[in-house]
C-alpha cells in the first residue's frame, strides 16, 4: 500500500512529489525476511516474486556454501577478467594486520586504513545499473569500508535473522580484495526492487542504509543531539537539523531538532551546491495564510523560520532534485560542486575555523527521465585515484572529469 497515494502500488517509489517512507519500506522488507527464516541460517536461493509478494524459497546446508567459498581465492597478479556470482555467500578471507587496527564503532575512522585501489566491477543483470552504481559509492565510503574491513560486525550479528550489515560486509570485502574481477552482487540487495525496470538509485541508497540500521538491534538507536551514539549508521550518516521560528510580535523563539540521513537540494535556480545550500538556510517569512500561531501571543502573527545544521554528519549525501513530481521528467543542467566543501556557513553555531568536507563519490544519471536511462558513478579509492565505475567497467580518470558531470547524488566525507 502506497503511503502517499493510498492505493496498491507495484512500485511505491514512483511517487516523486512526496516520497513514500523509506523506513516503512525497510520495516516491511525486514518483516518479510524475518517471516521466512532459514532453519539452517543460510539462504542460498534468491527471493522469488509471486503476485507482488516476496517469498524466500529453499535452503541448502552451510557446508555447501563453505565448499563453494573455498574456491574463491584472491586472483594472481595477472589474473584475467573473471565473472563471479556472490549470492549470500560468506566471505572466506584472512584479515590483514593493517585492517585489524581499524577503530571500534565508537570511534570511526574517516580516512582509509589502507590505500586500496579500485576493486571489482559489478555485473549488470537486466537493468540493475542503479544498484551497481550505488553499491560502488557505499563501498568507497571510507568510514563504512573501514568498519566492514575490520570484520568487527560479525560477533554482534543475530545469526538466524537476515542481516544487511553482513551482506554489505561480504560485498565490500570481496570487491576491494579482487581488483580486476567482475561479480554479481547478492540478490539480498535487490529485495523489493525490480531487475528489468529502471529504479531510483537514491531510494535504493536510503533502503540499504535503513536496512543496515535495522540490522543493529543491540546498538543504541537514540537520536542524541549531544553525542554520536553507538549505532554505526548514525555515526556515519546522521546529522541534525535545527528549525527556529521567531515571532516578530513578541520576539519569542521556538526551536525543533530533527535527524537527517541525506540532504535534498533544490537546483531549479541554483548554479552550484553552495548556492543551493545558501537558499536552503535563508530565513522564510511566515505571513498571511502562513502566519505563525504563537503560543505566547496566542494568535496568528508574522514570524520568520530559519533552517540550519545543528550538527553535520560525518558523511554528507547531497541529493540534487533532478526528477520533477509525478511526471518523472529530468531537470538536466550543470550544477557546480567543489572538491572541498566548507559547511561552516550553514551551521547554527558558528565556530572558529572551517568545517571542511572532501568529495569522494559522484553518482550520475544519464537519460531524460527517472523511468529510463543509465546510472554510473565516480569514486575516489583509498589510493587517492579517481575511477569511473560503470557496471563491469572500471577505468581511471582525473578530477576534472569528475567535476564536470551532471551529478544526481554527491558524497562528501569530513576532514579529520
DSSP 347: B
Query: Is there a single domain that holds both residue 280 and residue 405?
Result: yes
Which pLDDT band holds residue 346 (cuts at 50, 70, 90)?
very high
Q: Is residue 19 part of a domain?
A: no
Q: Is residue 352 part of a domain?
A: yes
CATH of the domain at 271: 3.90.70.10
The Cα diameter of the chain in Å comes to 76
Q: Is residue 115 part of a domain?
A: no
Query: Is there a single domain that holds both residue 250 and residue 370?
Result: yes
Query: Is there a single domain that holds both residue 173 and residue 310?
Result: no
Q: What phi and psi values does residue 331 have, to the nearest 5 degrees?
A: -90, 100
Q: Are strands 386-390 and 393-397 parallel, antiparallel or unpaired?
A: antiparallel
Query: Is there a single domain that holds both residue 193 and residue 244?
Result: no
Extract the C-alpha cell encoding 400: 576534472
Q: Are 146 and 112 in contact (CB under 8 A)?
A: yes
Q: Are 365 and 372 in contact (CB under 8 A)?
A: no
Q: Is residue 375 part of a domain?
A: yes
Among candidate residues 59, 129, 137, 370, the one labeled active-site is 129
For 373-387, write each residue's pLDDT tens digit. Answer: 999 999 999 999 999
pLDDT at 47: 31
Tell me the residue range of the domain where 346 lies.
238-414
pLDDT at 209: 93
- Alpha-carbon distance 44 to 38, whole Å? 9
Q: Are strands 83-85 and 182-184 parallel, antiparallel or unpaired?
A: parallel
pLDDT average, residue stretch 241-246: 96
Q: Is residue 112 part of a domain?
A: no
- CA-nearest of 4, 1, 409 to 209 is 409
Residue position matching grid coordinates 537514540: 222
For 78-127, write each residue's pLDDT tens digit. Answer: 333 444 444 433 333 333 434 333 333 446 899 999 999 999 999 998 88
Query: Is there a single domain that holds both residue 306 and residue 341?
Result: yes
- Average pLDDT of every residue of the chain: 76
pLDDT average, residue stretch 316-345: 92
Any bridge partners for residue 413, and if so which?
315, 358
Query: Is there a single domain that holds both residue 336 and residue 389?
Result: yes
Query: Is there a single domain that holds both residue 200 and residue 247?
Result: no
User: Which distant-in-sequence residues (6+ apart) come within 8 Å of 199 by Cβ?
Assistant: 11, 13, 127, 130, 131, 193
Which pLDDT band holds residue 59 (cuts at 50, 70, 90)?
very low
pLDDT at 231: 78
Q: Is residue 156 part of a domain?
A: yes
Query: Is there a single domain that holds both residue 262 and residue 193?
Result: no
pLDDT at 195: 64
Query: Is there a single domain that holds both residue 191 and residue 278?
Result: no
Query: Is there a single domain that holds both residue 285 and residue 398?
Result: yes
- Calculate the CA 95 to chain-centre distance: 25
- Alpha-carbon distance 144 to 350, whole Å? 28
- Alpha-carbon distance 184 to 83, whole Å? 8
Q: Is residue 257 part of a domain?
A: yes
Extract the C-alpha cell encoding 33: 525476511
Question: Which residue has better confidence, 215 or 181?
Answer: 181
On the question of pLDDT at 341 being above 90, the answer is: yes
Query: Is there a single domain that holds both residue 208 and residue 260?
Result: no
Q: Is residue 142 part of a domain?
A: yes
Query: Is there a single domain that holds both residue 328 and residue 366?
Result: yes
What's the N-to-C CA distance of the chain in angstroms?
44
The fraction of the chain above a pLDDT of 90, given in percent, is 55
Instruction: Average the pLDDT over each of 104-108, 148-152, 410-414 and give the range with the smallest value.
Output: 104-108
- Alpha-carbon distance 116 to 139, whole Å? 11
| Number of domains forming the structure of the chain | 2
Active site residue 129: yes
Amino acid at each position: 500500500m502506497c503511503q502517499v497515494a493510498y492505493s496498491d502500488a507495484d512500485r511505491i517509489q514512483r511517487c516523486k512529489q512526496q516520497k513514500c517512507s523509506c523506513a516503512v519500506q525497510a520495516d516491511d522488507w525486514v518483516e518479510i525476511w524475518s517471516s521466512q527464516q532459514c532453519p539452517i541460517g543460510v539462504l542460498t536461493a534468491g527471493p522469488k516474486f509471486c503476485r507482488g509478494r516476496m517469498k524466500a524459497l529453499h535452503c541448502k546446508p552451510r557446508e555447501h556454501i563453505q565448499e563453494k567459498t573455498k574456491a574463491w581465492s584472491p586472483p594472481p597478479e595477472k589474473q584475467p577478467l573473471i565473472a563471479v556470482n556472490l549470492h549470500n555467500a560468506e566471505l572466506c578471507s584472512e584479515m590483514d594486520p593493517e585492517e585489524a587496527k581499524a577503530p571500534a564503532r565508537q570511534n570511526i575512522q574517516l580516512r582509509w586504513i589502507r590505500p586500496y585501489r579500485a576493486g571489482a566491477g559489478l555485473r549488470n543483470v537486466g537493468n540493475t545499473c542503479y544498484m551497481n552504481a550505488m553499491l560502488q559509492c557505499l563501498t568507497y565510503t571510507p568510514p563504512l569500508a573501514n568498519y566492514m574491513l575490520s570484520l568487527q560486525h560479525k560477533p554482534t550479528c543475530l545469526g538466524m535473522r537476515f542481516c544487511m550489515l553482513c551482506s554489505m560486509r561480504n560485498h565490500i570485502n570481496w570487491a576491494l580484495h579482487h581488483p580486476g574481477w567482475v561479480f554479481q552482487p547478492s540478490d539480498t540487495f535487490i529485495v523489493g526492487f525490480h531487475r528489468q525496470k529502471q529504479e531510483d538509485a537514491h531510494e535504493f541508497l536510503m533502503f540499504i542504509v535503513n536496512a543496515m540500521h535495522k540490522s543493529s538491534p543491540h546498538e543504541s538507536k537514540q537520536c542524541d543531539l549531544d553525542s554520536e551514539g553507538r549505532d554505526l549508521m548514525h555515526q556515519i550518516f546522521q546529522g541534525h537539523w535545527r528549525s527556529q521560528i521567531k515571532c516578530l510580535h513578541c520576539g519569542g523563539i521556538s526551536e525543533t531538532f530533527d535527524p537527517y540521513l541525506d540532504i535534498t537540494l533544490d537546483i531549479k535556480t541554483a548554479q552550484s551546491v553552495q548556492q543551493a545550500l545558501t537558499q536552503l538556510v535563508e530565513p522564510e517569512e511566515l505571513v498571511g495564510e502562513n502566519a505563525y500561531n504563537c503560543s505566547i501571543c496566542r494568535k496568528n502573527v508574522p514570524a520568520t523560520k530559519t533552517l540550519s545544521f545543528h550538527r553535520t554528519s560525518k558523511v554528507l549525501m547531497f541529493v540534487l532534485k533532478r526528477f520533477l513530481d509525478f511526471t518523472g521528467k529530468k531537470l538536466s543542467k550543470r550544477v557546480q560542486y567543489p572538491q572541498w566543501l566548507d559547511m561552516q556557513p550553514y551551521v547554527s553555531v558558528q565556530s572558529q575555523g572551517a568545517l571542511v568536507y572532501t568529495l569522494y563519490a559522484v553518482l550520475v544519471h544519464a537519460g531524460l527521465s527517472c523511468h529510463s536511462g543509465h546510472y554510473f558513478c565516480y569514486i575516489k579509492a583509498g589510493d587517492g585515484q579517481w575511477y569511473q565505475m560503470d557496471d563491469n567497467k572500471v577505468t581511471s580518470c582525473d578530477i576534472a572529469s569528475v567535476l564536470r558531470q551532471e551529478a544526481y547524488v554527491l558524497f562528501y566525507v569530513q576532514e579529520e
